[in-house]
Structure 1
Amino acid sequence: MKRPIILLMGTMIFGILLSVLISVLFYGKNEVSNSIDAGTKKIVQKEDKDPYEKVDKTSPTISVYNSSTNKIEEMDIETFLYGVLSAEMSSDFSEEALKAQAVAARTYIIYKKENNMTKGHKGADICTDSNHCQAYFSYNELKKNKGEDWIKESYPKIKKAVDDTKGHILTYDEKAILPLYFSTSSGKTENCEEVFSSQYPYLKSVSSPYEEQSPRYYTETKISKYKFVNALNKSYSNISLSVDNLINQINVLERTNAGSVKTIQIGDKKLSGRNIRTLFGLNSSNFDIGFENDTVVFKVKGYGHGVGMSQWGAEGMAQKNYKYYDILCHYYTGIEIKDIY
């Protein structure tokens, strides 16, 4: 009798251990833990292991029009990205945010190449003018401007973010996307079509819940009523704006999904929020207008155009232990990450 009982107990223990093992192997891989409601979709942390393939081919050479030297240079794309990432995002940011930025920057170059967008580059694939493409600093410029200590302590962090994502780009329908990005949102990104004239299925408004730490999350710009009126009358001759009873001559007519001013009535003229942002040098088009005695006060949220990936939002997600691919898949709707070399 003892032997059958022992055998039965052994079988039960084995069954329990097998169930535990199966749970660990299968359920441990699920995309769970720390989901947060992101408004239009959920941000979900994935497994720690980078799930994307490693093609491990030689990285391509690209032609770069250096706007500061007025010359076209041939360089390895990954080496160029060291300089782009150094210029576009602070090295103080978390590793995963830097990786996300590196992938976005790489995708931007590939997008330009695939679409033959050489205008303004003098025939090169890309340029170093941040108003046209992406900012860039050479190694020597970084050494001169940031100093030896930065090169020793921070440059390796930049290189690692680029190297760890080598060849990774963002795609939609098997093609590189236009990966727009900006500094700081007001808690939600913009639909591309509400800011620019073009519509892209992957540049949709999403919640961006970790923005408050940005130094430009909330700012105020003050200007006298007289300068405010003069600036508008000078820019728009038919606006018919006067200092008297100014509060009743301004009315926000429409806002975007993310809260930016889309259309505003000022005097006899309907203007866009972008018009006002440009004219008065505001950090974004997400603003309210108030008055303090003889002063006009712009209360502004966010910094930048608001479309695509928020850099400070990416940093906030990284601090919450989200991976770079979580960040990218959140800010760019419906995209895939592909390793092309």
Structure 2
Amino acid sequence: MKKLGIYLIFFIVIIIVVPAVLVKTINFVMKEDKLNLTEEKDEESENKEEVKFDGYIKVYDTRTQEVLKMPLEDYVKGVVAAEMPAEFHEEALKAQAVASRTYALERTKKYPAGHPDHPGAPLCTGVHCQAYLSLQELEEAHSSKWVEQYWGKIEDAVDSTKNEVIYYDGELIEPLYHSTSGGMTEDSEDVFAVSYPYLKSVLSPYEEGAPKLKSTSTFTVNEFIDKIKENYPEANITKDNMAEKIKVVERTESGRIKKLMIDGIVIEGSKIRSIFNLNSTNFKITLNLKTNTVEIETTGYGHGVGMSQWGANGMAKQGKNYKEILCHYYQGVEIGTYK
């Protein structure tokens, strides 16, 4: 009987007590594991708080080769003043402010450790990014009278749109802009070989008064031929065969020259623009035998993608507000507050 009692006690310990201890132990371990995960999550949240935008941005000064840290809104004021004529309508200036702010934040998010072309800062003060001038530099470039007349207007345009940015599908866009489209903007893929759904060709009809809406560059025939042969020495082009050797291969939807063929060599329109320092790729080449010159007439000024600044001013004069202007030039976007 004693043996039977011992067996029963042993059986009870194995069946009931041991599993209970195991279950308790396993529960304890699982709780510890969950606690550790929670702590790790808290640490991640703390790290995210550390890199959260604090209202300041870093900008590489191309003039002093120094990295500046400044409030975002102060930077935007300097960009608007440098990039758009202060005489423009206030709604156009507001549109520029929102576009410039969006560009700065998108670049900051994309290059937190600095841009490859200027390590240490995601932005620079040159046209490589956005032109920027400090108040002192603006006074030196214009005059104290200019500052008195226009700086308040620029401040109002920026302050009244504070923290406003442009989103597409919940993400900051790359809000490209240019001076004058010449009547129609470009698809991004036709210029930069990258397709963005918000950078599509749209009409830009209100650009009257733009100083570079139309312009003409004149070269002697020899100058023209020399520039071509400097870049394409194999091209057999002369004054006598020029008319038949130069042909347009492809135009973009807006009418700009995408590809040109010279003596069988296919050349990008952007390359011709670069060779002859043209205002845009919307150009027409004319040989004038009487004067022995080649005239290249261009329409528009800039790459033509995104917002036309002169078009924005024209829309503002037509009664459109800055949000309507932005939503016209950047298709399918929303204007919201940056968080």
TM bucket, shorter chain: 0.7 to 0.9
Any residues of structure 2 matched to 1:150-165 within 5 Å, and which?
150-165=146-161
Structure whose CA Rg is larger = 2
Question: 2:229·2:235 contact (CA, 8 Å) conserved in 1?
Answer: yes
Render the CA deviation track for 1:106-157: whole Å, top value 9, x for unaligned.
Answer: 0001111121262223221311121x21101111111222111111111101
Task: Kindly provide the CA deviation profile for residues 35-86 of structure 1, in whole angstroms up to 9, marking residues without a partner as x.
Answer: xxxxxxxxxxxxxxxxxxxxxxx97011111111111111100011111111
Number of the residue aligned with 1:143: 139
The 5 A counterparts of 1:1-341 are 60-116=55-111, 118-130=115-127, 132-293=128-289, 294-340=292-338
Cα distance in 2 for partners of 1:163, 1:103 equals: 10
The unaligned stretches of length 5 or more in structure 1 are: 1-57
Question: Counterpart amino acid of 2:275?
Answer: L
Q: Is the 8 A contact 1:171 1:338 kept in 2?
A: yes
Check 1:339–1:59 CA distance in 2 against 1; reply closer, same or farther (3 A cut): farther
Distance (whole Å) between structure 2 residues aligned to residue 92 and residue 86 of structure 1: 10
Task: Please report the TM-score for the alignment, with normalisation by the length of structure 1.
Answer: 0.81
Q: For residue 63 of structure 2, what is the amino acid of its counterpart?
A: S
The secondary structure found in structure 2 opposite 1:154 is: helix
- Following the alignment from structure 1 to structure 2, what is the Cα–Cα distance between the partners of residues 308 and 324? 14
CA distance in 1, matches of 2:219, 2:158: 43
* Aligned position for 1:18: none
Aligned residue pair count: 283
Unaligned runs of 5+ in 2: 1-52
Residue 172 of structure 1: how far off its partner (Å)? 0.8
**C-alpha separation in 2, matches of 1:123 and 1:71:** 9
Distance in 1, matches of 2:102 and 2:134, equals 20
In 2, Cα distance between the equivalents of 1:234 and 1:69?
Answer: 35
Using the alignment, how far apart are the partners of 1:181 and 1:84 within structure 2? Answer: 13
Q: Which amino acid counterpart does residue 192 of structure 2 have in structure 1?
A: F
In 2, the alpha carbon distance for the partners of 1:143 and 1:288 equals: 39
Question: In 1, distance between residues paired with 2:61 and 2:226?
Answer: 39
Whichever residue aligns with residue 321 of structure 1, its letter is G
Residue range with higher mean Cα deviation, 156-165 or 116-125: 116-125
Identity of aligned residues (%): 44
Deviation of the 1:295 alpha carbon: 1.1
Shift of residue 229 of structure 1? 0.8
Shift of 1:206: 0.4
Q: Which amino acid in the other structure matches residue 222 of structure 2?
A: Y
Letter in 1 for 2:309: Q
Using the TM superposition, give the Cα deviation of residue 220 of structure 1 relative to its aligned residue in structure 2, in angstroms: 1.0
